[in-house]
Structure 1
Amino acid sequence: MMAQVVEQERLTRDVFRLWIEMEHDAPWSPGQFFHVRVGEGLDHVLRRPISLSEAVSDRRFALVYRVMGAGTRWLAGRRPGSALDVLGPLGRGFPLHPGDERVLVIGGGVGVPPLIQLAREVRRRGVEVAAVIGFREARDVMLVDELATLGPVHLLTEDGSAGMPGRVTDALGEDFLRGADRFYACGPSPMLQAVQGKLSGHLPGYLSLEERMGCGIGVCMGCVHPIRGGDGSPVYRRVCADGPVFPAEEVAFS
């Protein structure tokens, strides 16, 4: 499907927020992603998976991405009015649970953007939201104001240059967890593994996994990740099609 660039803005030194408008309605749920074609011709064969950060309709979305190579540098150069070849929204997003009264959203780095629309959807249902977000240093911090309109935000940086010093798990103490019904986490695998270890047995939740993707629709099997089966043994699931969101207790980390 074709989309048009509406706006492009720099959030940090290497992270951009791209607003696009799809040419047709694209029903969505928080936690899904788009697969974006980058470059001209055959310079970049593989699309880039970029999570849905915000949605103002079934056609207009914000995608937040980090510039990491030639493909994403090309994407950062797209100006309003430019056309993009986009697949999506794809994958399985964050399940919302009737009856929840307070939830926690936990993000690290570019795992923070997908939590914006999730927190908005939760608040629309009258559920309290508290956020814990972590970054390496102050110049990496982003989207604090957007989350702060939805509930309290606990900001941490590894070097202590903004917010509290430490990592997201340092904020997940007993007092903070009291009264929470569920958590949702998105970020790099080491962070997700640490969150899983900290909250396992204390609070149910979901992890949104980050994996390299080829096709984005579950055909190539390039993004499989071990998930615990019913008997506890690992089975491999496609992050693009079976995820990227999985129940936290089912995710296996090596």
Structure 2
Amino acid sequence: MMKQHLLPILTNVQVSERYWHMTIDTSNMNERIEPGQFFHIRCSDNAFPFLRRPFSIYRINREEDTIEFLYLVKGEGTKDLTKKKPGETADLLGPLGYGFKLDPGFDEILLTARGVGIATLAALAQEAGRKGVRCTAILSARSKNDLLAAETLQDFGAEVHHVTEEEETSGVESVESQMRDIIERKDVNALYTCGSRRLSRLNQRLAAEYGLPGEIALEEQMGCAMGACFACVCDLEEEGKHRSVRVCLEGPVFPLEKVVIS
């Protein structure tokens, strides 16, 4: 059942030209939060924008009873969210959706992400580090200034590689070469990705070639986040047939091989 929470904001600061970082006190929450899940946050106290915005979880700090969000300021909703001050209350619905699965047999995983999708996979790297699973991450962004989660992933124990448009290293061919090297050299058990259709298709192709399982976290615009409005529908391919699912309810994390990437 979806639950609304009114929780204290501890920090809400600008960390680059386009990104902000917010920390929320979750000491009054009873629900367990998993990597890959999200919260539907009311960004403004005004009548407009009316709809909430979905935010993936950046870090889960169970000992401190806090969660963190790394968010891209893109429209009126996120612009209003930047005005929230420490001590004020955040209005959240969640945690929502199904998160990532780390098989007990995994000892080496490979993450690939672009843009704000990097924040989504950070919590997975955190969980992998906690469970002793080795993690390598290839992070893609416009510029080095957008690679905000790189140090965080390194703090979690991940080996981080970065590619950027400004360095002309983010092309699919370049990323594929790196992925093949890591998969073969480290005997990777699974692939995880978020934030780019090109990277998603590349992950699907390499997962099929190397016989690896994988998961993808999808980013979609949402209206209600409870499955009623069907604004966030995507297609899965199962047994040769397409089936439409709601990212908010059945996702946002899906088996890599099933998602139809347009």
Which of 195, 217, 223 is the matching residue for 2:232?
A: 223
- 1:16-64 Cα offsets, whole Å, 9 max, x none, are 1110113323311100001001212321221000000101128410011
User: Which whole-Å CA distance do the structure 2 matches of 1:140 and 1:28 have between them?
Assistant: 26
Residue among 100, 110, 126 paired with 2:132 = 126
1:173/1:32 CA distance change after superposition, 3 Å: closer
Structure 2 letter corresponding to 1:133:
L
Task: List runs of 5+ in structure 2 lacking aligned partners.
Answer: none
Task: Could you tell me which runs of 5 or more consecutive residues in structure 1 were left unpaired when the two chains were aligned.
Answer: none
Q: Distance in 2 between matches of 1:113 and 1:181?
A: 22
So what's the TM-score if we normalise by structure 2?
0.90
For residue 7 of structure 2, the aligned residue among 3, 13, 21 is 3
Q: Is it true that 1:238 corresponds to 2:246 in the alignment?
A: yes
- Offset at 1:165? 5.2
One-letter amino acid of the counterpart of residue 17, structure 2: R
Is the CA contact (8 Å cut-off) linking 1:93 and 1:243 kept in structure 2? yes
Match of 1:141 among 131, 139, 147: 147
TM-score of the two chains, using structure 1 as the length reference = 0.92
Q: Is the CA contact 1:50–1:65 (under 8 Å) kept in the aligned structure 2? A: yes
Aligned length: 251
Query: Do the aligned partners of 1:169 and 1:195 also contact (CA within 8 Å) in 2?
Result: no
Out of 200, 205, 208, the position equivalent to 2:214 is 205
Note if 1:37 corresponds to 2:42.
yes
What does residue 167 of structure 2 align with?
A: 160
- Corresponding residue SS for 2:230: coil
Q: CA RMSD in A?
A: 1.8
Structure 1 ranges of 4+ moved more than 3 A: 164-168, 170-173
1:143-194 deviation per Cα after TM superposition (whole angstroms, max 9, x unaligned): 1111123121111102217xx5545734544321120000111113333223
Q: Within 5 Å, which residues of 2 pair with 1:9-88?
A: 9-22=13-26, 23-57=28-62, 59-88=65-94
Cα deviation code 1:201-225 (max 9, x no counterpart)? 3222001011111111212111010
Report the 3-state secondary structure (helix = DSSP H, G, I; strand = E; otherwise coil) of the residue aligned with 1:240.
helix
Q: Distance in 2 between matches of 1:232 and 1:222?
A: 24
**Paired letter, 1:152:** E
Letter in structure 1 aligned against 2:135: V
Shift of residue 195 of structure 1?
Answer: 2.7
Q: Tell me the equivalent position of 1:191.
A: 199
Identity %, equivalent residues: 33
Contact 1:67/1:73 (8 A) holds in 2: yes
Amino acid at match of 2:201: Q
Residue 172 and residue 218 in structure 1: after superposition, are their counterparts in 2 closer, same or farther (change >3 A)?
A: farther
With 120-129 and 198-207 compared, the bigger mean Cα shift is at 198-207
Aligned residue for 1:147, secondary structure, equals helix
